[in-house]
Structure 1
Amino acid sequence: MVLSWLSGWESAAVGERWSGRARRVGGGALGGGSLNVSSVRESDAGLFRCRVSFPNRSPPSRNNGTFYYLDVDGECSPNVSSVRDSDAGLFRCRVSFPNRSPPSRNNGTFYYLDVDGGTVIAVPPVNVTVVEGERAELECGAKEPDALVQWSREGQPLSELSELYARAELPANGSLVLMNALAADAGLYECSVQHEDRQQTAEAYLDVQYKAKVVYAPDERYLPLGKPASLDCHFSANPPLTNLRWEKDGFLFDPYNVPGVFYSRNGSLLFNRVDESHEGQYSCTAYNALGSSGPSPRVRVRVQRPPVLLTRPQPLYLARLGQPLALPCAAAHQPHHDPPRVIWSRKDGAPLPDERFTLEEGKLSISAVAEEDRGVLVCTVSNEAADVSAETELLIENLPPRAPYNLTARATAHAIQLTWVPGRRGVDAEYTVWYRERAAHEWRTLRLLSRGVTEASLTNLRASTPHELRVLATDSLGDGLFSKPLFVTTLDPDVDESEAAFVAAVTETSDGAATAGEDELEEDIANAGDVAQETITDAGHLEVTVRLLDEAALVRWAGAGPGRCDLRWYRDEQAGRRLLATAHTHHDHLLVSSVEEGARYWASVGCGDARGGAGVSVPAYSRLRAVAGGCAAAALLLAAAAAALVLLRRRLPCARRPRAAPQLPPPPPKRRY
């Protein structure tokens, strides 16, 4: 609220902000509700409303209230640039009205400008605006005639700008003169004046105006068929652009009369949907307040179809590490046009390694897939009209760990110590040992919780019992393959545990070669049944003994030095000895896991120059078992017959014996009368 009063009252209520400056003016042509504001401030500008209200009724809204807008003209604070010594003095700010005299109170403010002494510049430079090609002069007068005046542009000394320095003139008064100013000369110039130990600088801006001109126009421009496109006019203008005219094939081209073509704010042509009718030769002419430098060179516009992919990669590829992979991507070639460009890239922006990636006719070949190749690959086919891309994702097949190999076991009466070699990718795997008695059907497992452990101890086993062992590797990708089985027989309780033997399994290594741990068997030995524990030894440089265990033969030797020993395992036949297998080991024993009943074997051991051998005959227990089985069956039959007779006798009724006739008492004696 600025001011309000009631009819009949002499005084009016004035708002706190307007106190002393707002009053009601009554009478005369102004009426009784006029408002007078003195000492106008910039903050007084705004919309004012005069409104009549009645205490006992509401006035009609029509014609109730008049709006006035107060505009405070200009700012009262002057700005003096390029201050000189002559500018010092007293300045007064005073408000005057053309049709009346203002009150003297609060009318006018005095300011004193004091120019600090010690200046060395008498006439500083001021901003200059010239037209290109005209003479431009920037003044910089020094107080002292022997002062040193230097010029720089945009912070770079003028002497370092060879092209500008060659065209500039530096008269004795310190000014900078450019006889034919160019548009490139525009910028901020600095004048530096130095006299003795005093130095002062002043700046001024040189503005060079020129006619609007086209600075770049390509020879050809391809627009994609059926898609939106734009045709730009690259111009430069100072003062700013005022008009832009297009021509097509030598005639005025007005976008407002062509359906689907529009002007953009910068004067470019916008095609909503390109068609064949838009082909032609275009040129543009730019205008500003100074005129135009002429039309641009003609630009031939050709309508080209976007590239078409004939062969695109599959959405997903699953490859194994180290394997080669080819990703197809081919585009159709349009007649009378250059072939489209094919570029492969990663979607994440990472570069493709040149040593493994090759591109031939659009096909991307990877010599050996690596782990870092995982991701999304993009094939981009482009021509002058548009770019077409196809994406494919490459996944690396995660292989589970290979099966462990080179299983080696050391058996005692009630335990087996098992070791193995991890397969590929199995170094950090978890292992589980599966074992059972060969006569049993149910497997038992021992899981090793520590990763990378390649040995396990199986305890609480029955003595003199053959066992089957397997090892399974597991990692984050799942279970791998089981190792080949290893058959181990626990020792008899009466056997000294110091005679416990190592048993090596014939397994496949990670390279597929048949091995048996350190004992590399060259041939598999056929499975055999139980064997008799009988040995025949032969003397030699090495003391060799062969001891029969269940389904195996333990070969031991003594007298060998450190190093590798070779074992040859023969079978005696009528035609002679036949070599079954060879093995190499650094131990003094080796377990041959398979023998046959009724056969005779010969073990030949060589350790360096020392040699020795021993033979063993495996009794034919099958006939003994048959005889024993027959006897047992006969005994069972006899026992069954006896039991049947006993039962039959108990079930039959007993024979009745004949009874004697009852005897009559003797007759009484006859009496004689």
Structure 2
Amino acid sequence: MQQHKHQHHYQQKQQQYQINNISKITVILLSRVFATFVLLVTILINISCVQCTDEDTTSNLEAKVGSYVVFNCQIDFPYEYDIPYAVYWSKDDKQIFSKYFGTISVSERYAGRLSLVENHEDYGKASLNLTAIRESDQGWYHCQINFPNRTPSFRNNGTWHHLTVEGGSLIKIPPINMTLMEGQTAIFHCFMKHPEISTVTWLKDNDPIRENADLWRRAKIDPDGSLSIDPTMMSDLGEYECQVQNDQTAEVQTAKAFLNIQYRAKVIYSSPEVYLPYGQPAMLDCHYRANPPLKNMHWEKDGLLFDSYNVPGVYKKNNGSLYFTKVDESFSGAYTCTPYNELGTDGPSPVINVVVQRPPVFTTLPKGMYIHKLGDDAQLSCDAIDRDDHRRPVIVWIKEDNTPLPEGRYKLEGGNLTITNITESDRGIYQCSATNDAATITAKTELIIENVAPRPPYNLSANSTETEISIAWQPGQIRPNLEYTVMYRLSEAPEWRIARVGSKLQATIKNLRPGREYEFMVLSQDPSGDGMFSRMFRHATKPKVNDYIEPELFQAPAMSTTMPTESTISPTFPSFNFGPPQNLTVKARSRGFILLWEPPNNGLDQLRLYSIKTWLEPEHKLFAHDNTYDTHFLLANLMDGGTYTVQVFSISQDNEEIGSNIVTIEVPNTRRKKAVLIGSAVSIIFLITAFSVGLYIKRICIKKVKSNGEKI
């Protein structure tokens, strides 16, 4: 019996010892799991902090009281595809603005002063515009983007801005934008900090309101600087500016706000009688004003509804006007129009009596062209009558280029135009128009002056440098569309060179030999043909200095003495210096890096293409070599974490190449970050699984030990 008790006591101690060993092993295992978990959490926090530093940007902004500021907020869409999103803006951890599925909510304190910046290339889709800034607006602003249809709903979107409000030494509370109904009272606050030593002035659309008698009669400026308008009228719509000046220091501070006056659609003008041309298209307008915009226009004819949809050949345009494709007698009558907007209508227009009248008809048409010599008298014939009562309509002659008829040298007899002692300036196209109450008809003719060659230039003069000669001359006569061509050569050279200079009275010939004499002649031309050459003129370049390197004679192909017919002329002889691409810059994009540059300043006519060379650093190994005809190029497939230098070369027709400035590209190592994140996630899952398995093994071992003890 005693031996049995002793054996039972020994088994209990052995069971307790096994349980203690299992507990110790479990504690050690859990402690190691916990330490590993803490290490992984620390790594994830550091990675998150790095990403926050990359994604969340912080900017410091400054603005004056009464001005505005834009808080920029870019949206980082998943995989760069636009999906539904919500925008939340907070100031000092208190929400002030939100937009969720088209519904916008603005804090009462910022009502009328906050709005999203839409479709602006310099700002993101969630950017916020704050106007009428107050001193209390200073602080931290945070933008947060939420994607409600995505899990997780938040990405690394988020932008911080700190706003510092300065210059609020005169205005305490600036005015804000407001929208009112016509007839309501408008109150613009412009509280002065020191009203006892300040003077306030109010302007509307940059003009003092005191100069607007109608507005000044309804306006009142309070001692604190505020402006009230009672009652408001639709003409009060516009921008208002408060100017506060310190009488002691002459310091001035301004603040602006916009007043939007809404009113029912109203007719502002109605013509008592309108004439429409028979057989021609015509328009019947209703002159109205509406804010909000027009929604519908109601027309009546002779007291009955006139529905354009039920009348063939009549259409109602977006502005409410009636368009008749072909007027006939049935369209005459008494019309009224009634405009409507969201607020309703102010009533119909007065009666518009529409009279259908036949347009005039020409009885005598001018010829297609009249040809005369200088000094002749030219008579251009034209006459017309009304179709209805054979009255003569109003006949007017004009010149198509809008130049006036020659003063003192023309007269009108009936519908005929006579021009006496015609000159070169009288050539051109003339238009005869006949007008009655219904329509205007026109006919055109051309007055041609028989070709008279322009007189040669005279009084040639010049000055020179070592390689250039600037030549000037006086025109032989003043005529429109007169152009000049300079011909020149070395005195002993057999071939002439040409330089076309357009309408200028001077030209500079470059790339000449120093200390040599050149011959010049100037030819005048106009559209009617070539004129005569000027007298030959000689002038020499200055002798070369010691360090001068003599250029090649005429760095261009030789040209024959036959005059070319090209009309495009450069005012100076071209320079053939070849230059590199200018201002090479690089910008990061989602698909790579885009290179931007400007064309060379010199030798653009010799440019064949651009060559882009990319080197991998620090080995300076050529990584890529590309060609393009554009001034931009996308670099793709660069290795993560690599450093590259890029240079763009201008390639000439002769395969000469000149390089631009060099830019450096640092490619971020995105693969390493992704690998660390994936490895961390896998490690956490593994640790959780190991922890669960450890607990499960412990429970089995304890149950097994207890069951063995019970059996014993």
Relative contact order, CA 8 A, sep 6+: which one is greater?
Answer: 2
Whose Rg is larger? 1
TM-score range normalised by the length of the shorter chain? 0.3 to 0.5
The structure with the largest helix share of the pair is 2
User: TM-score under structure 2 normalisation?
Assistant: 0.44
